[in-house]
Amino acid sequence: MDKWVYRFDEVDQAEAALDNDWDQVRGLLGGKGANLGDMSRIGVPVPPGFTITTRACNVYLANDEQFPDGLTDQLDAALAATEATLGKTFGSADSPLLVSCRSGAKFSMPGMMDTVLNIGINDAILPGMVEAFGNERFVYDSYRRLVQMFGSVVMDVDDHAFERVLTEARAAAGVETDSGLDVAALSGVLERFKEIVKSETGQDFPQDPNDQLMMAIEAVFKSWNSDRAFAYRNADGIPHDLGTAVNVQAMVFGNMGEGSGTGVAMSRNATTGEPHLEGDYLLNAQGEDVVAGIRRTDPIAKLGDDMPEVYAEFDAFSRKLEDHYRNMQDMEFTIENGKLWLLQTRDGKRTAQAAVRIAVDMVEEGMISTDQALMRVSPEHVDFFLHPQFNVDSKAAAAAAGRQIALGLNVSPGAAVGMVAFDPDLAQEWAKDGKDVILGRPETKPDDVHGMLAANGIVTSRGGRTSHAALVARQFGKPAVVGAHELDIDVQGKTMTVGDVVVNEGDWLSVDGTTGEVFLGQVETKVPDIDDPWLTKLLGWADERRELDVWANADYPSDAERAREYGARGIGLCRTEHMFFEPERLPVVQRMILADTQEEREELTFSLLPYQRDDFAGLFRAMDGYPVVIRLIDPPLHEFLPSFEELVMEIADLRIALDKTTGSADGDALNAEISAKSEMLERVESLREQNPMLGLRGVRLGILRPELTRMQVRAIFEAACEVTREGIDVHPEIMIPLTSHVNELKRQREILEKEAKDVMAEQGLEVDYKFGTMIEIPRAALTADQIAEYAEFISFGTNDLTQMTYGISRDDAEGSFLIEYLSEGILDDNPFFTIDPDGVGQIMGIALKKAKATRPGIEAGICGEHGGEPRSIALCHELGLNYVSCSPFRVPVARLAAAQAAIVSK
Amino acid sequence: MDKWVYRFDEVDQAEAALDNDWDQVRGLLGGKGANLGDMSRIGVPVPPGFTITTRACNVYLANDEQFPDGLTDQLDAALAATEATLGKTFGSADSPLLVSCRSGAKFSMPGMMDTVLNIGINDAILPGMVEAFGNERFVYDSYRRLVQMFGSVVMDVDDHAFERVLTEARAAAGVETDSGLDVAALSGVLERFKEIVKSETGQDFPQDPNDQLMMAIEAVFKSWNSDRAFAYRNADGIPHDLGTAVNVQAMVFGNMGEGSGTGVAMSRNATTGEPHLEGDYLLNAQGEDVVAGIRRTDPIAKLGDDMPEVYAEFDAFSRKLEDHYRNMQDMEFTIENGKLWLLQTRDGKRTAQAAVRIAVDMVEEGMISTDQALMRVSPEHVDFFLHPQFNVDSKAAAAAAGRQIALGLNVSPGAAVGMVAFDPDLAQEWAKDGKDVILGRPETKPDDVHGMLAANGIVTSRGGRTSHAALVARQFGKPAVVGAHELDIDVQGKTMTVGDVVVNEGDWLSVDGTTGEVFLGQVETKVPDIDDPWLTKLLGWADERRELDVWANADYPSDAERAREYGARGIGLCRTEHMFFEPERLPVVQRMILADTQEEREELTFSLLPYQRDDFAGLFRAMDGYPVVIRLIDPPLHEFLPSFEELVMEIADLRIALDKTTGSADGDALNAEISAKSEMLERVESLREQNPMLGLRGVRLGILRPELTRMQVRAIFEAACEVTREGIDVHPEIMIPLTSHVNELKRQREILEKEAKDVMAEQGLEVDYKFGTMIEIPRAALTADQIAEYAEFISFGTNDLTQMTYGISRDDAEGSFLIEYLSEGILDDNPFFTIDPDGVGQIMGIALKKAKATRPGIEAGICGEHGGEPRSIALCHELGLNYVSCSPFRVPVARLAAAQAAIVSK
């Protein structure tokens, strides 16, 4: 005969019968039943009980809602065992055993069926219970709850009927909450509940505890086929034939006097990770008293004073559970008359700091491997150490002072402080003036994006986790809280109201995107310590484990120094054009662009050489011993010139001013200015392009203006020679941007080699350099076999590669249709955030394979924002790149992500 | 012993010795020697002679410049045979045999070594020759030429020394040309030439004819290793070990009296293709007299009157040569004392019309196969039938009236007439005013491109076939003549001078890019007849032969009708946005774009439906029975609005005007206008994009504004139902533009199917339709397997696909770096003209393979300009597309090109 019922302490039998396959055990007993069994068998005291299998459910449903043969007998035996364990009897008036009845499928299906608690109470048992608990009100309330839960869940009575009775009772008693109702009132409520059951169902509320239990079990079985369960499974892709198990468990009570109590605790400190119990408890109380905050809780340590043995026992179980689950545990417990029961345990939530420390400590305690530790910490945890967070004390003080005005959805992490603006234009204006701004809106639309970008943080009163505000904020890394319903934002009136508090435009707000809290005023922020010893150790393990090297993008020596400090082992991208934008250089650059003759052009170009040489020398010094990839000038030349619209407007203003001028000297000056600006306008217009991203930039500039390439190459080699003399070990890699055809590379390499040879001959030194190219145009990727004939290294510029492969201009799309695409689910991910594996990833794979066919040892990396994004890093690992290069602040994140990629792909 | 010398009539021996491999024969005897042999053996009378093999040359060069053993004997024997054939004797004073000596390598190497003519003249022979020719001046001149040629080519005397003597002699005689020198003068020149040889080389000019011949032969052998030959071979990739053959051939003379003559003739009419001899001849004349145009020539038909037997013989040989070479022949002949000699034959150049007729006639005469006929006609020949050309009579009249002012390089074919402008801005301005313009420049630069585009044709006085002007003109299909050195173009003075003629800006010019001629005034043009019966027949064969179908791009019913007339079997691209730009619709479109509410937007969108329905119905009627691919709206919305820059300028101007206004009514009006324009500016700015090509357009519009898709789909289906009722067989294919992700297609297909179903239900009709997409974004190509799940057809938009795969914005690049890239040889071809096989071709191949993996029968085509370009068509054939779609005017060209692709790939 089939075994339909397993006591929690019989889980080993189930496992043995199922090939020791835990997944099958979860299939048979459900997730909750299997876990209760698991806790039970390692000797943790869980309130006794048993699980009716999913198989029993399936037979019941298939067999015209008849219990399978033998189920009732097995159930009686299991119940008897439960009674024996506790020395209580189900249905007894003297020492009554009460049980709960819960569904438990293989996969969690929240809201599929409510729990029925307190099964076993009836009119006859009531007096005995009052005596046992010494708390008449509690017992009446427990009975009232049973009738209400059983009535609505098992007997299908509309819960509103019960709630209406309670509302009337509260009104009659003149109290606000149910807890204000006294025994007499509750007694009246109980009678009316029973009447409702009778009138709604035609049946009395069942007085036989066995009837209560059997009806509850059947209700759980039937709930498997309810409409909402069906819909849930469809949505989640859960098969419809699994069935649900039923868990029947003894109720234990922490409110049976001073020898009883209840609490929640973490096996380690969830904020700092320190390795000792941390939690709250209350003597003579129910679990909900601890959670609701009605009574002031005591720290768990006080349990050590109140009941030393119980505390010691709990501490030991806590360590046992950690050992078993190899993770920090979040536990609920109840002490009933001196006896400790653990009701639930699960992996505990923790802060980033705690996550890192616990992972490292557990390795050192021999509990987990370094690989497990590396997988236990998320890249976001590491990121936490690099960005401002609210100071915990300052936040607590603000909360204590009543300055927390809202709790919304924590959709984009980080701390932001600023003056609130309710209009995106104003936010942008203030930000331009150097002010810190928080943008507050009821909800956001694409028109608001410029204000969102200008703000330090965003708060909205409407919208969910996939709202426009949430998507944009995450995308741009702006801390944001959305759907803070407490806030009444009046954009016209320029105020935000929360209860009595009126926040005016310009008032300070502090927004915690990590937690969803919004505070009035300025909460202090701090940057956590990157030198945290546990983090340092963890990242050390990551460095040993990872196969991808991690380099950084740095344009200035100070960036390079920071990158090196954060663990970068090379510079993967130095954008040389940044050096052209420096205020003292820009006018020279502009004259160079506009020069009429080749001689003038060359002269002005080479006048920039000393600046570039110094920049490069500084980078080389900072990266002593490591490679430095220098990209030759990339952007369209008109980026260095004034904007067309501004010039038109300025000229119009000048002409109006001229018209008003009477003094001829002023007039002459104005005329001269108009003429200069008009000339500039003409040049700007002639350089203007319809699609500058695909226009005259990158290597195309180097081909049309070879003097630019020559000047930059000379600056690189002169700098390399200079620092070599200082004893620096220098490895420049010269990178050509925007290559689409191998011939571009061939030409540039000729120019480069001649110039390099000249400088090395002049200086009498040899420099160890490489020549290579960005792969950022699809054609370059598709012809990487040809490219590799001239390139010793390639670096994927995945931002431009995404723009061209996807046909999307990032600047235009991110404020426009891309948001719509993400919120409509047309795209799952922003391809500028995570490399699109099907398109861009595929073409990267094609390129790498072709490049290696020509030059097997070719160095290949990725530079650009994707290089610091964990899923993109995993893709780079799979493709077999040599390194990722990202912003210095992302280097620690990338080190961990690279290690995780190596672990996952092993 | 090796055979070093082959008489022309011994070519069969050579062939037999060389495995009957004609390529080896050419290797041994050189190209010229082999061809003389070939003519000779089929019985065509070529002046007798012989070839000294390349092997002899190689032995001579390897063996310290010693003739190989046996060569001299073989040479004597061959010379004796030549003497015997003609009854003349080399070195005889009575009946002297003169010979020419020419090099002839396997591959043509023009300019490697000059010819030496008239070998065999000396002082002793001179009197006998005078008697034989009866023309003392000619004989002296022949001797003078021998000494000059022999001196400079064989004896290394600087030719300038000879030319100086001639210059002095002309001055002394007071004549302009050498032909003005009389016998006495020439006699003096001859003596001074001999003195120069003596003084420059220390040797007398050799009097022994045998010495002359042997020295000439050695000079040819040595010339193989000359610097210029070496450089030529390096440039052309010809191996250095081939050696050159030497051809020694009897000289024949057409100026030996009235029984002699010379001429050139084509075996068929080179202008019309009519199948009869066509050419010019002169009695008692040398070949150069015919070519130089000094004497008025007679038509070849007159030879039939003058010497009927010789004419009949020539006509027969002409047909024999045609039969042998299976092509129309261009022949040179000489008649010496009644004996006909053919000096040369080669495939004749011909007009497009003649090419087509000759190919078709030859098939019908059984001379060539239809495949050969199809390969014999070039796509450009077919193109000729579709574009204006100058009327032959009108051109002849202009030439006769002395209006041909220049002959430059014919770099871009076609006829153009217009008023000449010397400034690109002016050209653009005139063109905007609807004037016909010719742009005249000394040479062009990228700054001039807008003027070139505005002009009907281009003429420059400088530059070659790869100059900027030539490249741009070809690229844009503008007729152009470059390097017309006769023209002195004064841009500042706004005049163009040719000799005495001064052409002013605004004067009419006619430019023939097909021939390089430039005429003053307007020459009549005409469009050749596409209904030419031979062309019709040829294209019929092409249709049978080709595997690619040929469709056309047509936006209007009139285009579709023309396309069908030209042979298109479907519409591959109807661009629906053109319908939005019509003057009566544009204001509605603008209001639709700027509408504030969704209701307003939908209402305005659907108000366009009747127009679109009528457009589609017209197309369907024109293409009865054939598929019509309709692309939903594609361009960015701001293209329908006023330009941002213009608005900025207009507002600036209005502000200045306002500033000057005194009247308050005027001021109010101006203020209102400023306010309206400013509002429009704001809307335009909000829609403005940095890279509109990669912005909000194509399917992205359809996703964000689904009402656009609904309206267009409804219009298509309503139109389809309407024409179905008229008995039209309609096959609409609805095409989504700019797809990058399969989900875009999935969404649009849902919208489409619902709307289509609704219309079909309303109308009670079923429409046979397809749903598909453009593949114009690299990602769509790379994920074509996913795309094909929703697309029943794909159409490559190779213009955008090239832009994105290559990372080049066509509009920006073609006036800028792309020209530089082409003229610098970085790119061999403009990728917007011919599909780039390595990049775009590769990704098309990937897409097609993936699409077929998902949907084996998927219909695949190409729309856009490449679809009418022969090399791109060949690529499409290789890839296995179903059809190419091109502009109606390119359809006949595409039909031929598709057939040629099928023939070549067989």
Condensed to tens digits (0 to 9), the pLDDT of residues B81-117 reads 999 999 999 998 888 999 999 999 998 877 666 689 9
Instruction: Answer yes or no: are the C-beta atoms of A705 and A697 closer than 8 Å.
Output: no
* pLDDT at residue A681, as a whole number: 87
Residue of B nearest to A823 (CA): B704
For every residue of B100-162, DSSP letters joined together read EEEEEESS--TTSS--EEEET--TTTHHHHHHHHT-HHHHHHHHHHHHHHIIIIIS---HHHH
Contact B778 A447 (CB under 8 A): no
Our CA angle for B649, B655, B658, nearest 5°, is 140
Which of the two residues, A580 and B790, has the higher pLDDT score?
B790
What number of C-beta contacts closer than 8 Å exist between A and B?
195
Tokens of A193: 């509940």
Q: Can you say whether residue B20 is alpha, beta or left, with left for phi > 0 and alpha for psi between -120 and 50 degrees?
A: left
Contact B690 A778 (CB under 8 A): no
Beta strand B501-504 with B495-498 is: antiparallel
* pLDDT at residue A112, as a whole number: 66
CB atoms < 10 A from the CB of A672, how many?
10
- Gap from A685 CA to chain B (nearest CA, Å): 10
Confidence band for A111, pLDDT divided at 50, 70 and 90: low
B748 lies within 8 A of chain A by CB: no
Mean pLDDT of A635-644: 86
Instruction: Answer yes or no: are the C-beta atoms of B348 and B270 closer than 8 Å.
Output: yes
Contact A826 B741 (CB under 8 A): yes
A751 lies within 8 A of chain B by CB: no
- Gap from A246 CA to chain B (nearest CA, Å): 42
For A:861-890, CB contacts with B below 8 A are none
For every residue of A150-161, DSSP letters joined together read IIIIIS---HHH
Contact B694 A656 (CB under 8 A): no
* pLDDT at residue B444, as a whole number: 86
Tokens of B593: 């774009």
**Which H or E element spans position A233?**
helix A227-236
B743 lies within 8 A of chain A by CB: yes
Condensed to tens digits (0 to 9), the pLDDT of residues B293-339 reads 567 788 999 999 999 999 999 999 999 999 999 999 999 999 998 99
Tracing tokens 């014999």 back to the chain, one arrives at B376
Mean pLDDT of B579-596: 86
Catalytic sites of A, residue numbers: 468, 863
* pLDDT at residue A652, as a whole number: 82
Residue of A nearest to B693 (CA): A691
Tokens of B412: 């871009």
A325 lies within 8 A of chain B by CB: no
- Gap from B430 CA to chain A (nearest CA, Å): 21
Q: What is the mean pLDDT of chain A?
A: 91
* Residue A766 DSSP symbol: -
* pLDDT at residue A756, as a whole number: 97
H, E, C per residue of B281-326: EEECCCHHHHHHCCCCCEECHHHHHHCHHHHHHHHHHHHHHHHHHC
Contact B778 A805 (CB under 8 A): yes
CB atoms < 10 A from the CB of B226, how many?
12
Residue of B nearest to A649 (CA): B652
- Whether the pLDDT of residue A175 is over 90: the answer is no
Nearest to B812 among A649, A689, A740 (CB): A689
Residue A695: list chain B partners with CB under 8 A. Answer: 809, 812-813, 816
CA dihedral B186, B189, B193, B194 (to 10 degrees): 80
Residue B803: list chain A partners with CB under 8 A. Answer: 694
Our CA angle for B379, B381, B382, nearest 5°, is 65
Contact A827 B686 (CB under 8 A): no
Q: Percent of chain B, pLDDT > 90?
A: 69
Confidence band for A233, pLDDT divided at 50, 70 and 90: confident
* pLDDT at residue B457, as a whole number: 95
Tokens of A219: 């209700």
Mean pLDDT of B265-277: 92
For B:587-646, CB contacts with A below 8 A are 644-645
B690 lies within 8 A of chain A by CB: yes
Evaluate whether ipTM surpasses 0.90. Answer: no
For B:773-792, CB contacts with A below 8 A are 776-779, 782-783, 786
- Gap from A659 CA to chain B (nearest CA, Å): 8
- Gap from A806 CA to chain B (nearest CA, Å): 5
For A:792-851, CB contacts with B below 8 A are 800, 803-809, 811-813, 816-817, 820-821, 824-827, 836, 838-840, 842-843
Contact B694 A809 (CB under 8 A): yes
For A:693-712, CB contacts with B below 8 A are 693-696, 700, 703-704
Catalytic residue, from B468, B731, B866, B877: name it.
Answer: B468
Residue B843: list chain A partners with CB under 8 A. Answer: 778, 782
Condensed to tens digits (0 to 9), the pLDDT of residues B774-821 reads 999 999 999 999 999 999 999 999 999 999 999 999 888 876 788 889
Q: Percent of chain A, pLDDT > 90?
A: 69
For every residue of A592-613, DSSP letters joined together read HHH-SSHHHHHHHHHHTHHHHH
* pLDDT at residue B293, as a whole number: 58
- Gap from A753 CA to chain B (nearest CA, Å): 18
Q: What is the mean pLDDT of chain B?
A: 92
Mean pLDDT of A516-535: 89
- Whether the pLDDT of residue B467 is over 80: the answer is no
Confidence band for B1, pLDDT divided at 50, 70 and 90: low
- Whether the pLDDT of residue A662 is over 80: the answer is no
d(CA A611, CA A587): 14
CB atoms < 10 A from the CB of A741, how many?
24
Residue of B nearest to A449 (CA): B686
Residue of B nearest to A807 (CA): B694
**Which H or E element spans position B711?**
helix B706-725
Confidence band for B212, pLDDT divided at 50, 70 and 90: very high
* pLDDT at residue A256, as a whole number: 82
- Whether the pLDDT of residue A291 is over 70: the answer is no
* pLDDT at residue A654, as a whole number: 87
- Whether the pLDDT of residue A293 is over 70: the answer is no
CA dihedral A642, A643, A644, A650 (to 10 degrees): -70
Q: Between the ranges A92-96, B180-184, B195-199, where is the mean pLDDT highest? A: B195-199
- Residue B886: active-site member: no
- Whether the pLDDT of residue A294 is over 90: the answer is no
The pTM assigned to this predicted structure is 0.84
Q: What are phi and psi of B459, to 5 degrees?
A: -135, 135
Residue of B nearest to A651 (CA): B652
Condensed to tens digits (0 to 9), the pLDDT of residues B656-671 reads 888 887 777 788 888 8
d(CA A633, CA A713): 11
- Whether the pLDDT of residue A811 is over 70: the answer is yes
Mean pLDDT of B358-386: 94
Residue A691: list chain B partners with CB under 8 A. Answer: 691-694, 809, 811-812
